[in-house]
Amino acid sequence: MLRMSTLFLRTLREDPVDAEVPSHRLLQRAGYIRRVAPGIFTWLPLGWRTYRNVENVIRTEMDAAGFQEMHFPALLPREPYERTNRWSEYGDTLFRLQDRRKGDYLLGPTHEELFTLAVKSEFSSYKDLPISLYQIQTKYRDEARPRAGILRGREFVMKDSYSFDIDDEGLANSYRQHRDAYIRTFDRLGLDYVIVSAMSGAMGGSRSEEFLARSEVGEDTFVECPACGYAANTEAVTTLAPAEYNRALGEPHIEETPETSTIEALVSYAQDALPRPDRAWQASDTLKNVVLLVTDPDGASRPLVIGVPGDRAIDEKRLEAALAPATVSAFTDEDFEQYPVLVPGYIGPQVLGKDSESGIEYLVDPRVVAGSAWVTGANEPGRHVFDLVMGRDFRADAVIEAAEVRQGDPCPVCGQPLAIERGIEIGHIFQLGRKYAEALGLQVLDENGELVTVTMGSYGIGVSRAVAAIAEQSHDETGLCWPVAVAPADVHVVVMGKNPDVLAAAEELCEQAEAEGVRVLVDDRTGVSAGVKFNDAELLGIPTILVVGRGLKDGVVELRDRASGDAEDVPVSEILARLLDRSAVVRTD
RNA sequence: CGGACCAUAGCGCAGUUUGGUAGCGCACUUGACUGGGGGUCAAGGGGUCGCGGGUUCAAAUCCCGCUGGUCCGACCA
C-alpha cells in the first residue's frame, strides 16, 4: 500500500518553466519524473511504477508472441558498428567514449549489430530459424536538441526486437507476427494510434510501418483518408497521377517574359500579356524546376533538378527520404557558375536528363504525366516556353515524391481528400532485409547444404516514450488520468478530516482491498486540507478516487471516476466489489 | 548548426537600468485555529546571487572571459 504520508513525493503547485508540452509539465508537477540534465530524467516512485506497468504490458505481449527476451550491454565496442559503417554514418548523434587505454566505445543507440552477431555466433542451420529475439534496453542518442521531456530524451528505454528468417516469405511472416503483437500491446496500453506506411530511411530495407499515437504535440506528420482508411507518414505518401491535366493547344512556343524569375511573377505577367482564352493562368499550370546538390554517402556530389507543379514547394523531409542515403543541399551561386546551362529562374527541362547534352539528372513529380502541357523556363533569362508537353517535348529520368503534401490532396487509394494529422512515433516495424546480415556475415546452411544470408526484421517500441504518449492522450486541466492498465495504483483513497474513527475505517477498507489484489494509494496525511488532497488526487491521475469522510456515518463512501469526474455514494458493504470491478487486479508488477 | 534569451533559496520570480544590510510567492519547520476544494494567524530555517578575473572604499548590480541552461528553427529508425 502506498501512503501519501510516507511516499517519496512532492507535487508542485506551479508549472516548471522548462516544460512546454502537457505530458512533460504534468509528469513533473505530479512528481513522476525529475530532470537531471538536458534530455535525461529520473523516475521517482510513482513514475517508476507507471513506467514498469507499461514495460510489463509490452513484455507480456512479446513473450506471448513467442519472442525471446535477452539483454545486451548498453556500453558497446566500436568494432561491430565500424563493420556496418554506422560508427561514422550515425554522426554526432552517437554517444562515443574512450576507456583508459583510448579504446573507442559507444552507448548503444540501437542494437542491430549485436543481435546479428549473437545469432551468428550461436546458430548455423536453417533448422534453427525463424527466431525472434528482443530486449528492453536503455538507449542513448546525443540528440542535437532534446525536447518535450521524456517524449524525446537523450537516454530512453526502447524495446527492440529482431527477427531472423531464411527467406522473404519467412520475413513477411515474422513481420506480421510483430505487427499483430504491437496492435495487442498498444490496445492494452489504451493508446489512440494509427498505423501508417513509412519510409525505411537510413535503416535500409523494404516494408516499414510506424505506429503513431495521435497527438498535436507529436513530431511526425501523417496523412489519413477519412473515406478509405489509408494512412501514411508524409514522407511515404504517394501522389496520385491526375486523370485530368492541361493539354497542349499546339506546338511549344517561346515567349518573352521579362523579370519573371519567380512563379508568382510569371503567372502575373502571363495573365497580363499572354492571357489564356479559356481561363486565368494558375501557378499549377507552370513547371518549376528546382536545382539541388546531391551528395552520395561516398562524398561525391552532383546536381539534380526536380520538376514540380509551380504551386508546390519541395518538402525537404520527403526529398531526403526519397534520396536516402544521399543527402541534399542548396545549389549555390558558385555551383551555378559551373553549370552555365542552368539559368536561375528560367530553368527548363529541354536541356535536362541523363541522356541530354548536359547529362544533369532530371526527376519529376508524379503530377507531371505524359501528355501534360506546361509553362516552364526556356533556359534563357526573361523567356519561358509555353505548351511544352511531357513525353513529347521533354523527358524525365524518373518520378520522385518530393513535393509538399497538402490537406485535401487526393488519397492515392480512393481519390478522396486527405486529412493531415500529427502523431508521436511509439512503434516502428521494418523489414530490414539482408543489410546487416551481409555486413556481419550472418549466414546459415539451407536444406541443400548451401550457405544463405539470413534476412532480418527490426521492430521497436519506445517504452519510456509510451509513458509520455499515454500522459499526452489522457490528461485534463487538473492533471493526469491514467488508463487502469498503467496507473501506479488502482484507487486513490482520500481520507477526510482527522477524526481517528474515519482514519481507522479507511485503513480497514484499504487493507481489505489490498488483500483482494486492488492496489491502493491512501492519502492518510493529517493536517492537510481537503482542497490539497483533492487537487493532488486529480494531479496524480489514479483512475478511481475514493473519498472516505462525512458519508461514513451513513455507511457510504464516495466513489469518483477521475476521468469523467462522475461521483456517487456507495454503501461500504458494496465498495470492495466495485473497486475490484474497476481495478487491473490480474497484474504481475 | 543558425537565431533569440536566461542563470539570485527545493520550485516560480523581483532586485541589475541608477553599485551601498539579498527579497517576494509557493514549498519546508514550530505553535494555534480550521477541517469536503491548494484555509487563517504567529514565529522560524534555508543563499559560495553559475564560474574566473577586473574596476571600485564598496559589485547580484559595471567591464572582460568562460561554463551551463531554455525556447524557435535546422537536424532526428
Q: What is the CATH number of the domain that holds A359?
A: 3.90.960.10
**Shortest-distance nucleotide from A536 CA to C1':** B38
Taking C1' of B27 and every protein CA, the nearest residue is: A12
Q: Is residue A483 domain-resident?
A: no
As a whole number, mean pLDDT of residues A258-282 equals 81
Residue range(s) defining the domain that contains residue A342: 253-399
C-alpha span between A136 and A139 (Å, rounded):
9
Taking C1' of B77 and every protein CA, the nearest residue is: A203
| Window from A163-177, A260-274, A431-445, A511-525 with minimum mean pLDDT | A260-274
**Residue A578 has what pLDDT?**
96
**Residue A54 has what pLDDT?**
96
**Shortest-distance nucleotide from A15 CA to C1':** B12
For residue A521, list its beta bridge partners: A2, A492
Q: Which three cell numbers stand for residue A116?
A: 546479428
How many domains does the structure of chain A reveal?
A: 3
CA-wise closest residue to A27 among A49, A55, A58: A49
**Shortest-distance nucleotide from A479 CA to C1':** B38
**Shortest-distance nucleotide from A425 CA to C1':** B77
**Shortest-distance nucleotide from A198 CA to C1':** B77
Q: Which three cell numbers stand for residue A140?
A: 542513448
At A422, which amino acid appears?
A: R
Confidence of residue A200 (pLDDT cuts 50, 70, 90): low
Q: What is the pLDDT of residues A123-170, one digit of tens each?
A: 999 999 999 999 999 999 988 888 888 998 899 999 999 999 999 999
Confidence of residue A586 (pLDDT cuts 50, 70, 90): low
Through-space separation of residue A582 CA and nucleotide B2 C1' in angstroms: 52
Taking C1' of B76 and every protein CA, the nearest residue is: A143
Confidence of residue A588 (pLDDT cuts 50, 70, 90): very low
The CATH code of the domain that includes A56 is: 3.30.930.10
Q: Is residue A79 domain-resident?
A: no
Q: What is the pLDDT of residues A410-455, one digit of tens each?
A: 888 888 999 999 999 999 999 999 989 999 999 999 999 999 999 9
CA-wise closest residue to A463 among A53, A108, A66: A53
**Shortest-distance nucleotide from A203 CA to C1':** B77
Same domain, A309 and A232: no
Confidence of residue A235 (pLDDT cuts 50, 70, 90): confident
User: How many Cα neighbours within 13 Å face the side chain of A41?
Assistant: 29
Confidence of residue A285 (pLDDT cuts 50, 70, 90): confident
Same domain, A300 and A393: yes
**Shortest-distance nucleotide from A24 CA to C1':** B70
pLDDT at A81 over 60: yes
Q: Is residue A244 domain-resident?
A: no
**Shortest-distance nucleotide from A556 CA to C1':** B36
| Strand order, beta sheet including A104-107 | A75-77, A104-107, A95-98
Through-space separation of residue A115 CA and nucleotide B69 C1' in angstroms: 37
As a whole number, mean pLDDT of residues A344-372 equals 85
Same domain, A494 and A465: no
Through-space separation of residue A15 CA and nucleotide B24 C1' in angstroms: 18
**Shortest-distance nucleotide from A545 CA to C1':** B36
**Shortest-distance nucleotide from A532 CA to C1':** B38
As a whole number, mean pLDDT of residues A228-246 equals 85
Same domain, A433 and A510: no
Through-space separation of residue A524 CA and nucleotide B25 C1' in angstroms: 27
C-alpha span between A436 and A439 (Å, rounded):
5
CA-wise closest residue to A544 among A583, A575, A503: A583
C-alpha span between A438 and A456 (Å, rounded):
10
At A452, which amino acid appears?
A: V
As a whole number, mean pLDDT of residues A97-108 equals 89
| Window from A293-297, A377-381, A493-497 with minimum mean pLDDT | A293-297
C-alpha span between A370 and A260 (Å, rounded):
26
CA-wise closest residue to A433 among A164, A173, A153, A222: A164
Cβ neighbors of A111 (< 8 A, separation 6 or more) are A72, A135, A137, A160, A162
Through-space separation of residue A158 CA and nucleotide B51 C1' in angstroms: 37
**Shortest-distance nucleotide from A538 CA to C1':** B37
Do A454 and A165 meet the contact criterion of CB atoms below 8 Å apart?
yes
Same domain, A315 and A378: yes
Q: Is residue A8 domain-resident?
A: no
Through-space separation of residue A37 CA and nucleotide B67 C1' in angstroms: 15
Same domain, A329 and A257: yes
Through-space separation of residue A33 CA and nucleotide B18 C1' in angstroms: 43
Q: Is residue A170 domain-resident?
A: yes
Through-space separation of residue A35 CA and nucleotide B57 C1' in angstroms: 44
CA-wise closest residue to A155 among A30, A49, A33, A286: A33
pLDDT at A534 over 80: yes
Q: Is residue A414 domain-resident?
A: no
Same domain, A202 and A272: no
Confidence of residue A542 (pLDDT cuts 50, 70, 90): very high
User: How many Cα neighbours within 13 Å face the side chain of A418?
Assistant: 25
Taking C1' of B28 and every protein CA, the nearest residue is: A10
What is the sign of the dihedral through the CA atoms of A288, A293, A297 and A300? Answer: positive
CB atoms near residue A44 (< 10 Å): 19
Same domain, A231 and A263: no
Same domain, A428 and A520: no
Q: What is the pLDDT of residues A291-339, one digit of tens each?
A: 888 877 677 788 888 888 888 888 888 888 787 777 787 777 777 778 8
For residue A308, list its beta bridge partners: A288
Taking C1' of B75 and every protein CA, the nearest residue is: A144
Same domain, A121 and A204: yes
Same domain, A466 and A504: no
Same domain, A185 and A265: no
**Shortest-distance nucleotide from A17 CA to C1':** B12
CA-wise closest residue to A551 among A534, A565, A532, A568: A568
**Residue A146 has what pLDDT?**
83
Cβ neighbors of A337 (< 8 A, separation 6 or more) are none
C-alpha span between A112 and A387 (Å, rounded):
52
**Residue A205 has what pLDDT?**
55
Q: Is residue A439 domain-resident?
A: yes
Through-space separation of residue A47 CA and nucleotide B17 C1' in angstroms: 45
> In the 3-class helix/strand/coil scheme, how is A34-97 assigned residue by residue?
EEEECCEEEECHHHHHHHHHHHHHHHHHHHHCCCEECCCCCEEECHHHHHCCHHHHCHHHCEEE
Q: Are strands A491-495 and A544-548 parallel, antiparallel or unpaired?
A: parallel
Through-space separation of residue A69 CA and nucleotide B56 C1' in angstroms: 68
Cβ neighbors of A282 (< 8 A, separation 6 or more) are A267, A311
**Percentage of residues of chain A with pLDDT beyond 90:** 51
pLDDT at A237 over 50: yes
Through-space separation of residue A130 CA and nucleotide B48 C1' in angstroms: 63
Do A425 and A216 meet the contact criterion of CB atoms below 8 Å apart?
no
pLDDT at A117 over 90: yes
Which nucleotides of chain B have an atom under 7 angstroms from any protein CB? 1, 11-13, 25-27, 33-39, 68-77
At A544, which amino acid appears?
A: T
Through-space separation of residue A17 CA and nucleotide B71 C1' in angstroms: 11
Taking C1' of B12 and every protein CA, the nearest residue is: A14
Residue A266's alpha-carbon distances to A263, A362, A386, A575, in angstroms, are 5, 22, 12, 75
Through-space separation of residue A442 CA and nucleotide B76 C1' in angstroms: 29
**Residue A386 has what pLDDT?**
86
Is this complex scored with an ipTM above 0.85?
yes
The CATH code of the domain that includes A566 is: 3.40.50.800
Q: What is the pLDDT of residues A466-489, one digit of tens each?
A: 999 999 999 998 999 999 999 999
Through-space separation of residue A420 CA and nucleotide B73 C1' in angstroms: 21
pLDDT at A589 over 50: no
Through-space separation of residue A515 CA and nucleotide B22 C1' in angstroms: 55
